[in-house]
Structure 1
Amino acid sequence: MVSSSDVKRLFLQSLLSRGIVSEALCKALYAKSIEAVKNADNNLNMPYSNTNEAFDEVIKDINASLNDLDLELKSIQDELSGRRLYALVNTKDDELAQVATDYTPAEIVFFKAIIEQIMLARNESFSLSSLAALREVSAIKPKSNMSKTQAETVLASFVAKGWLLRSKRCRYSLSPRTLLELYPYLKSTYDEELLYCTICHDVVTKGVACHRPNCKARLHFHCFKLYRRGKGKCPSCEIDWPRQATDDPLGAVGEGAVRDGDDGKRRVKIRQVDDDEEDEEMEPGSSQPSQPSQPSRSQKNKKSTKKKAVADSEEEDEDEEIPTQEDSPPPRRRSSRR
């Protein structure tokens, strides 16, 4: 028996098969779903038949039906193009449940390691080189026995299925699908590392940064372009901004902020006993973090105590008698025999 509710079912099935779609394609899929149900029964009363005029109402109606299933049809703007994208999202934060349906536990561990290095990248670069990504294979052992050849295949799969982006510089970064579907995981795990656009308030991992020190203004490229049409000052500190996003002295968020040596060491997020989180660096292939650049108070006390002990020993050495040349034993003569 065909009913008007079959439109939602067909529409959601088409979304699930595609992962993430543009707004234009999303509207086209809903229109095709209406057309398919009408072909089965032309006498049915179809709500929201004009999708272009009431698409927001369509989304609200669908999300009301999905609320009990912890699912939601959400949208996000592409950070580079500014296009509106839609995807069916699991709203329950349950350790990457969205990815677990397609990948093995070992591949999930590898994916989480890649995400960690991207989120902890220096200088707000939010990207990882291909070589550094493959180094994560040795870092996650013994949780995974994945070889580097297998890791290359899995990385290609992450890119092909829209979980990661790979640039012309062979650097991996977060995709719109990851930012949209895995936002609860990113929020709970890397809340301090997340940056938000000053204009649209969405997460920004690719864009521009204000060049004034300590200013927190961060904008997507498309948000900067729209904002700069009417205003010429920073929206936070009101310093004068250049006309183009690529002009100096604006800073960069994303690959443009990468500096030489940024991928040299592995960064690990460690939770301390007092629940304060710090980033520590690890040598490639090492299982222990390297010493922090700034010693703690206890370390400083130990160093000062050690210096004092060394000074005391030096003073004691000065009080001792220094042997003269006559008291010292004569040097041993080297034999001329071979």
Structure 2
Amino acid sequence: MPPLSWRQHTLIQALLSRGPLKEKDFHAIFSDVTGKSLDSHQQLFNDYLRKINMELSYVQFELRACRNQYDSGVFYGVVNTVADEQSKLGSKYTVPQIAFYKAIIESIVLDHTAQGTISNIKALNIQLENQGASSSQVPTAFKNFSMTQKEKTIRELVNDQWLCAMSDGDIGLGVRSFLDLRSWFHNNQVPPCDVCNESGIKADLCPNESCSVRIHKYCLQAKFSQQRMEKVCPGCGTQWPYVVMAKAEVVEEEERDVQQPPPPCGPHMRKRQRSSRHVEEGERESNSQPPENGQPSRRQVAVKVDYDDNGFVPSQLPGTKRATRNSARLHR
């Protein structure tokens, strides 16, 4: 096989030097280096990505695309598909910071309401001691991980796009987490979207409490935008209360949901205004009692979270679980 051309090298270098790129920016680079419009040369673009990934596979890297579930934007990035001891040398994060990140991710994906976020206060109150097998085995660094260090870690993870800051101050997954953790979401049984089959981290739930179907907002828009499409749950047939919006309205709403600057942290942060729905959900959660039969409802989907000896982190953080190379393919 002939070596990669300078044009293909340029695409790789752009992602390595700048981090994940929005679809339009990555397409613009392709058009600049090839002199061809993507609209009329889609097959050439696909061939470029296929050849790049064939070469990257020899060093356990992959160029892949993902969709940001908060604003539906598509991003491209290069990720490491294998974790080993040598990978730890390339991380700027400490072991307690990685454990803190892991705990935040776990809290977000275990949320049965599929809001895809965790409050800043809840994140700062995560106890790393709970990450150990027993109190006698908890590393001293975990016990001494202060509130100030947690605030600093959140800011760094947001700046590096492992996490994102929402407009209401909550914390969500960053685009690099969506890129790196796709296989982990699948392997740990995170409920998928019924339309696209990607993990439903941020999704709308079926109105039927006994139905576990969840669908991304942008997938709902695509599914129900057809005039003759009956707006019902594909799982149980319950009427789905969804109003199809114009594309401009969808973009405007999604832009309001996501805020790029890091979130305010610590005890001096301004008290955020929470919607009545969130307050009511919090009250229901705190006041609710377990069912008499001791079984959770189907809405409370159980997620199995496993960690190996290396822990759990994305590709450029130490201890990533080995990802199946073919399990995450480029998609539009």
TM-score range, shorter-chain basis?
0.5 to 0.7
Contact 2:114 2:204 in 1 (8 A): no
State the alpha-carbon separation in 2 of the partners of residues 228 and 176 from structure 1: 26
Report the alpha carbon displacement of residue 162 of structure 1 after superposing the two structures with TM: 0.8
CA contact (8 A) 1:15 1:88 kept: yes
1:148-200 alpha-carbon deviations (Å, 9 max, x no partner): 11221110111111111222332112223202212234444xx13x1211111
SS in 2 for 1:73: strand
How far is the alpha carbon of 1:277 from its aligned partner?
8.5
Partner of 1:133: 123
Change (3 A) 1:262 1:63: farther
Aligned twin of 1:28: 28
Judge conservation of contact 2:194–2:215 (CA < 8 Å) in 1: yes
SS of the residue corresponding to residue 125 of structure 2 reads: helix
Structure with higher Rg: it is 1
Of residues 246, 260, 266 in structure 1, which corresponds to 2:282? 260
SS at structure 2 position matched to 1:76? strand
Deviations 1:182-226 (A, max 9, x none): 2234444xx13x121111111121121111133232111111011
Please say if 1:14 is aligned against 2:4. no
Mapped partners of 2:119, 2:28: distance in 1: 37
The one-character-per-residue Cα deviations of 1:285-330 (angstroms, maximum 9, x if unpaired) are xxxxxxxxxxxxxxxxxxxxxxxxxxxxxxxxxxxxxxxxxxxxxx
Paired with 1:227 and 1:186, the residues of 2 have a C-alpha distance of: 23
5+ residue gaps, structure 2? 132-137, 246-274, 287-301, 306-332
> CA 1:83–1:123 in structure 2 vs 1: closer, same or farther (change >3 Å)?
closer
**Is the aligned partner of 1:92 residue 2:114?**
no
Aligned-partner Cα distance in 2 for 1:154–1:227: 39
Counterpart residue type for residue 217 of structure 1 = V
Unaligned 5+ runs, structure 1: 36-48, 247-254, 265-275, 280-338
Q: Distance in 2 between matches of 1:99 and 1:78?
A: 29
Note the 1:316-331 alignment, pairs <5 A. Answer: none
Query: Normalized against structure 2, the TM-score is what?
Result: 0.63
Q: Specify the alignment match of 1:169 in structure 2.
A: 168
CA contact (8 A) 1:72 1:90 kept: yes
The one-letter code of the counterpart of 2:194 is T
Question: Contact 2:186–2:199 (CA<8 Å) still a contact in 1?
Answer: no
Does structure 2 conserve the Cα–Cα contact (< 8 Å) formed by 1:87 and 1:181?
A: no
| 1:68 Cα deviation after fit | 1.2
How many residues align? The count is 242
Post-superposition Cα deviations, 1:67-115, rounded to whole Å, max 9, x if no partner, equal 11111111112223322211112222559x5996232222212211222
**DSSP-derived class of the 1:123 partner:** coil
The amino acid that maps onto 1:15 is L
CA distance in structure 2 between the aligned counterparts of 1:99 and 1:236, rounded to whole angstroms: 46
Quote the residue 1:61 is aligned against.
51
Provide the identity percentage. 25
Residue in 1 that maps onto 2:203: 207
Instruction: Answer yes or no: is the 8 Å Cα contact 1:90–1:98 preserved in 2.
Output: no
Alpha-carbon distance in structure 2 between the residues aligned to 1:82 and 1:113: 25
Classify 1:74/1:226 alpha carbon distance in 2 versus 1 (closer, same or farther; 3 Å). Answer: same
Partner of residue 218, structure 1:
214
In the alignment, the residues of structure 1 paired with residue 4 and residue 117 of structure 2 have an alpha-carbon distance, to the nearest angstrom, of 45
CA contact (8 A) 2:182 2:199 kept: no
- Counterpart in the other structure of 2:262: none
**Distance (whole Å) between structure 1 residues aligned to residue 123 and residue 89 of structure 2:** 18
More strand by share: 1
Secondary structure of the 1:206 match is coil
Moved over 4 A (4+): 49-52, 97-100, 255-258, 261-264, 276-279
CA distance in 1, matches of 2:58, 2:98: 27
The separation in 2 between residues aligned to 1:88 and 1:130, in whole angstroms, is 29
